[in-house]
Structures are given as structure tokens and as C-alpha cells.
Amino acid sequence: MAAKHDVVAPAVVSNGANGHHQRSSSKRTIPAVMLNSGHRMPVVGLGVWRMEKTAIRGLIHAAIREGYRHFDCAAKYQNEAEVGDALAEAFEAGLVKREDLFITTKLWNSDHGHVIEACKDSLKKLKLDYLDLYLIHFPVATRHTEIGTTASVIGEDGVLDMDTTVSLEATWRAMEELVHMGLVRSIGISNYGVFLTRDCLAYAKIKPAVNQMEIHPYFQRDSLVKFCQKHGICVTAHTPLGGSTANTKLFGSLSCLDDPVIKELADKYGKTPAQLVLRWGLQKKTAVIPKTSKVERLRENLEALDFDISEEDMEEIKAIDRNCRSNQPAKFWGIDVYS
Ligand SMILES: NC(=O)c1ccc[n+]([C@@H]2O[C@H](COP(=O)([O-])OP(=O)(O)OC[C@H]3O[C@@H](n4cnc5c(N)ncnc54)[C@H](OP(=O)(O)O)[C@@H]3O)[C@@H](O)[C@H]2O)c1
């Protein structure tokens, strides 16, 4: 389907008010945003990066019962097969129907020259016959390794082995082909800044429906968010909790959940810091995909839909921006690809 240019940002409102009403007995209906592809995406999803393989089945089924309909996966997370098993079981048990779910997965860097095969491999693992959204995980092609291996080969110089022969335009053409083949409903980009997003808009025959990027109160990225929304690209905030303790452990990042302003405002609204931060993301008209491995937090995170932060308090949160990326791939790649 051709991209619509007049669709801008999600109108995020309280639970149900402009939502996509789904046929299920789950606890709540999560509002959805209309993408420029003509498909709807629930504004809260569950990220599955760093989810233990053995816990995935229980978490996905619990999430579906809580009302989650949007799952954010990636070939790189190396757990698509476990997600696929959990989904297949959920369909079979009548917990949810395929058409009521929104499943995203992502093309890994080493597969930019092999988009169709990589997507088919993800579909096979996820046990699906189409994806709702397929994203280019990062705007960088790296040395190809066998499909499914999602390696990040490091050269002898200790730096990520990048492939300078594959352009992002060529990768995008193949992404468009996936839509024509009926394997993918919407296509998008991830971790693209203003320069690359603008360029993508110039060569895209099918415009990117989504740009998924790190956003939280310590890394607010107002200019990029506004640029995407102005051009009809829905912004999804990955790492919407700032990665919390997981990124403190992995990257040494400072967690916005510990910020005194966040804690004070959370108290004021009778919410947890995580709920406040997710609500802030929703009020910035971004979709949020928090990850949790704790069943009780699945509901806690969805309850971000149930209140409003005043304009004055949104301004207070604006003031704590540190322009500070919490997820730092340079740790693994020997190069700061954002430099
Ligand atoms: N496109 C990309 O390049 C990219 C990059 C990074 C992430 N992502 C996507 O975005 C998703 C989310 O990012 P993320 O997992 O890195 O970071 P995140 O969702 O911001 O934070 C996850 C951390 O927050 C904790 N947490 C969850 N709910 C909480 C709550 N209510 N209170 C306190 N702590 C809470 C989790 O711990 P527990 O598990 O113990 O609850 C975990 O430590 C990923 O799963 C992935 O799908 C995409």
C-alpha cells in the first residue's frame, strides 16, 4: 500500500478513547496510531531484547492477557524462534488472533545485501506468514555472515567490519520489495538521525512508516522527533525507560528512573518513575516499547496509559534532558557509529 503523507504523529489519549478496539477478553485495549502505510500500530508494545529464552513463553502469554498486542523483536536478539513458539501456542489456544497482533522484527546489519532471505528467515522463526513491521535495525551494512547468525565481525584493527559496497538506498529497495511480495505490511528505519531520515524520504517509493530510536527523558531528541512527525513517520521510542538497571550494568549509563525530578513527579501523580517516564513518551506522541522480564511490571508499564502529565510538568521533564545516549554499541563495535 502506498504511504500516506498526511498522517503525522499518533494522537495518544487515555485508554480506549481513540483506540483500535480488539476482539478479545484481555484486560484492556491499547490505543493505536495509524501509520502512513494505512496500518495501525498499538502505541505501547513489549520489547523482547535480553529476554531469557526460557521465560519468553510465559511473558508473552501474560502480556497478551494483560492486553499487549505489539511485540518488538529483532533477528539480532536471537530469540525469534522462542517468540514464534509462544505466538503459535497463543493462536492455537485461542488467546489471540494473528490479525489482532502487531509484530515487528528487524534486519541485522550483516544482512543488508540479503534482505529478502533475512526476512524469510525471521518469518520462519517467528512462524508467521507476514510481519506487521520490518525495520532496518541500524543504518550500517557490515560484513555478511550466514543468514541467522547476525554477527558483528570485528576486523583486525579492532573495529566493526563495515561493508562500504551496499548503499542504504539499495537496502531500502529490497525492503520495498518485501511489501510488494506481501511478506511485510509496513517498513521502517531505526537509529536514523535527521540526515539519513531525510535522505531516505528522498529515495523512498514507499516512505518509512516508523523510525525507531532511543528516546527517554535523558535523551529527548526533540528536533529528530519533530522532523519525523512532520514528514508522517511515526516515532517509536526504544529504550523508553532509559534501559534502567540493565543499561547501567551493560553500558554504565545513568538511569533517568533515578532522577530526583522524575521521582518527585512520580510521587505527585501517585505513579512509579517507570510509569511517569512512559507517560512522558506517550505525550510526546511517540510509541513506547518497554521491556520487562517481570510479569507484575507488564501491567505497571501499561498503566502509563491511565493518566495525564500537565503541560507544566512536561516542561519540568524537558529541563532534565542530558542529551545522553544510554545504549552504546561502541562498547562492542570498537567505533562510535554515531560520531
Ligand atoms: N532499534 C534498536 O536499536 C533498539 C535498541 C534497544 C532496544 N530496542 C527495543 O526496545 C526495547 C526496550 O529497550 P531496552 O530493553 O533496552 O530498555 P528499556 O525498556 O528502557 O528498559 C528495560 C529495563 O527496565 C527495567 N524495567 C522494566 N519495567 C520497569 C519498571 N516498571 N520499573 C523499573 N524498571 C523496569 C527492565 O528490568 P526487568 O526486565 O527486570 O523488569 C530492564 O532492566 C528492547 O527490548 C527492544 O525491543 C531497540
* Domain residue extents for the chain: 32-323
Q: Secondary structure of the chain: what % helix, strand, coil (to 5)?
A: 40, 15, 45
C-alpha cell at 329: 554499541
Global pTM reads 0.94
Q: Which residues contact 146 (CB under 8 A, 6 or more apart)?
A: none
pLDDT at 205: 98
29, 40 Cβ separation under 8 angstroms: no
Q: Which atom of ligand 1 is nearest to the CA of 74?
A: 47
pLDDT at 43: 98
Choose the residue to mutate in 49, 214, 255, 272 for probing ligand 1, maximizing ligand atoms within 8 Å of C-beta.
49
Does ligand 1 have an atom closer than 6 angstroms to the CB of 300?
A: yes
pLDDT at 27: 76
Q: What percent of the chain lies above the pLDDT cut of 90? A: 92
Task: Give domain 32-323's CATH architecture.
Answer: Alpha-Beta Barrel (3.20)
The parts of the chain modelled with pLDDT lower than 70 are 1-26
Cite the active site residues.
77
The pLDDT tens digits of the residues spanning 182-197 come to 999 999 999 999 999 9
Residue holding cell 533517568? 256
- Nearest one of 119, 127, 136 to 183, comparing CA atoms: 119
Under DSSP, the state recorded for 160 is B
For the annotated binding site, the residues are 137
Write the DSSP string, 72-119. E--GGGT-HHHHHHHHHHHHHTTS--GGG-EEEEEE-GGGGGGHHHHH
Cα 290 to averaged position of ligand 1 atoms, centre (Å): 5
Residue holding cell 512520580? 266
pLDDT at 207: 98
C-alpha angle 228-292-37 in degrees, rounded to nearest 5: 30
Q: How far apart are CA 198 and CA 160, in angstroms?
A: 25
C-alpha cell at 80: 525469534
Q: Which atom of ligand 1 is nearest to the CA of 190?
A: 1
Q: Which residues contact 249 (CB under 8 A, 6 or more apart)?
A: none
pLDDT at 30: 97
The CA-atom distances, in angstroms, between 287 and each of 33, 45, 132 are 8, 8, 15
Q: Atom 28 of ligand 1 has which residue's CA nearest to it?
A: 292
Cα 49 to averaged position of ligand 1 atoms, centre (Å): 7
For the annotated binding site for substrate, the residues are 137
Provide the sign of the torsion angle of the four alpha carbons 166, 171, 173, 178, taken in this order: positive
